[in-house]
Amino acid sequence: MKSDFERTHTIKEALALPSGTKAGIAGWIVSKSSIGGIKFAMLRDGTGYIQAASKKDRVSENAFRAFEQATRESAVGVSGTIRDDKRAPGGKEISVSDFVILAPAEPWPITKSAVKSSGSFLYDNRHLALRGRKVSSVLKIRANVIYATFDYFVENGFTLISAPTIVQNAVEGGSTLFELQYFGKKAYLSQSAQLYEEAAIAALGKVFIFQPAFRAEKSKTSKHLTEFWMIEAEQAFANQEKNMKLQEELVRAMAQRVLDHCSEELVILGRKFKFPENPFPRISYDEARTIASRSGVDFEWGEDVPTEAEKLISKQFEVPFFITGYPLSARSFYHMTEESNDKVTKSADLIAPEGYGEIATGGQRVHDYEVMMKRIRSQELPTESFSWYLDLRRYGMPEHSGFGIGVERTTRWLCGLKHIRGASLFPRTISRVTP
């Protein structure tokens, strides 16, 4: 069907027009209804939602028939007049003068009964299910977390870098590496860009990076993905105290941006979070053990804080907080230890409150060549693939520190999601590599 439909406004723009203005909008049909002789369709175009109202005697026969025939999720074009209407969601509607189906949709498969029939239905059909209001709200909040990061780092003199994701080094231990064949050699998907950042600080001083990280996590929990996006930052001439202040500022910038730009999305998600004022609470690893023990979860000094304990501790806080001073035995090889105690690292995890758990890990790095050499040897890491990393310590490596914060974990906390997969467009988990 040929039509002279012209898209003149997005829905967001149309909603800002004065009553009586003519507009052409394009979008997808979210739902349809009718009251008396008037037919309604709710339209969505990614910028907003608007109700279209069609009266038989006001439009051509063709247009009225197209309106009637248009199925849910069909892409349609509507020409008409914007009118104030208190009953319409958003206070305005478009009164239809012409209507065309731009791309028809088959019967929409995401039905209540289909969703009920299988626990994985929505994620098996993520390519369609992501059109929902809640999913798009999460995606917008996730985007704003990233925008806040770029704004913050650029304003504060950090340079953006990129690094390879096909690597030979295990940054965070060998047990979660995805192995791949690289022209007859073994290579891995990167767990973290930290080691490359450490090389870059000698050229750029302060750097940040935003790219995917991969973990062959065997754990089937609500906070683990196998592929996720990580924001990492590294600064030369900065100790762990400075590193924690940087994380506080960044997380506040993220929370502020979400409050400023995503208030509607938070309402749709039914989410309220407490704004994290400065400074964030801090507890030591030893205090964390005591708190967990009081709630009935004990763990040995030297172990990583178990997920269950972390959750219990996190539930006692309303804003993100640090757990400081992790034992070296629970940390990766590069962590610097306290001068007074070589079993305790200058590192911290940033824990989101309300049970969400760890969102960032950071720390000061070993910058001394001999100490790093000993670490690499004692942990039986392949000296050959770490030779370049060691080399950095031979050519003017000062005190330095950094951290990595997970984009989906942060989004999950800000959105109040039960499971981290909801914070990803197409989540990858131990049991999912499609769609």
| 184 burial via Cβ count (<10 Å: 0-12, 13-18, 19+) | exposed
By CB under 6 A, tell whether 172 contacts ligand 4AD: yes
- Taking residues 390 to 419 in sequence order and writing x for each that binds ligand 4AD by CB under 6 A, - otherwise, the string is ------------xxxxx-xx----------
Cβ neighbours for 117, distance < 8 A, ≥ 6 positions apart? none
By CB under 6 A, tell whether 254 contacts ligand 4AD: no
Q: How far is the CB of 256 from ligand 4AD (least distance, A)?
A: 20
The footprint of Mg ion on residues 5-44 (CB under 5 A) is none
By CB under 6 A, tell whether 243 contacts ligand 4AD: no
Q: Of these partners, Mg ion, ligand 4AD, none, which one is at the site of residue 10 (CB under 5 to 8 Å by kind)?
A: none
By CB under 5 A, tell whether 324 contacts Mg ion: no
Continuous segment of H or E residues that includes residue 97: strand 92-103
Cα–Cα distance, 345 to 435 (Å, whole number): 41
The footprint of ligand 4AD on residues 179-218 (CB under 6 A) is 191-192, 194, 215, 217
Q: How far is the CB of 197 from ligand 4AD (least distance, A)?
A: 7
Cα–Cα distance, 361 to 357 (Å, whole number): 11
Residue with tokens 């962590």: 335
Q: How far is the CB of 176 from ligand 4AD (least distance, A)?
A: 7
Note whether 149 and 250 are within 8 A (CB). Answer: yes
Number of residues that bind ligand 4AD (CB under 6 A): 25
Cα–Cα distance, 185 to 180 (Å, whole number): 8
| 380 burial via Cβ count (<10 Å: 0-12, 13-18, 19+) | exposed
Q: Peptide bond preceding 89: is omega within 30 degrees of 0, i.e. cis? A: no
Q: The tokens of 73 are what?
A: 């999720």
By CB under 6 A, tell whether 359 contacts ligand 4AD: yes
Nearer to Mg ion, 235 or 361 (CB): 361
Cα–Cα distance, 61 to 373 (Å, whole number): 81
Amino acid at 416: G
Nearest-CB residue for ligand 4AD: 406
208 SS3 class: strand
Half-sphere exposure of 149 (CA within 13 A, CB side): 24
By CB under 6 A, tell whether 93 contacts ligand 4AD: no
Nearer to ligand 4AD, 171 or 313 (CB): 171
Nearer to Mg ion, 39 or 335 (CB): 335
Nearer to Mg ion, 297 or 405 (CB): 405
By CB under 6 A, tell whether 427 contacts ligand 4AD: no
Cα–Cα distance, 330 to 311 (Å, whole number): 18
The footprint of ligand 4AD on residues 20-79 (CB under 6 A) is none
The footprint of Mg ion on residues 361-390 (CB under 5 A) is 361
Q: How far is the CB of 404 from Mg ion (least distance, A)?
A: 8
Cβ neighbours for 78, distance < 8 A, ≥ 6 positions apart? 24, 25, 26, 27, 43, 52, 94, 96, 98, 99
Terminal-residue alpha carbon distance, the chain: 33
* Interacting residues with Mg ion (CB under 5 A): 361
* Interacting residues with ligand 4AD (CB under 6 A): 171-172, 191-192, 194, 215, 217, 224-225, 228, 230, 232, 358-362, 402-406, 408-409, 420
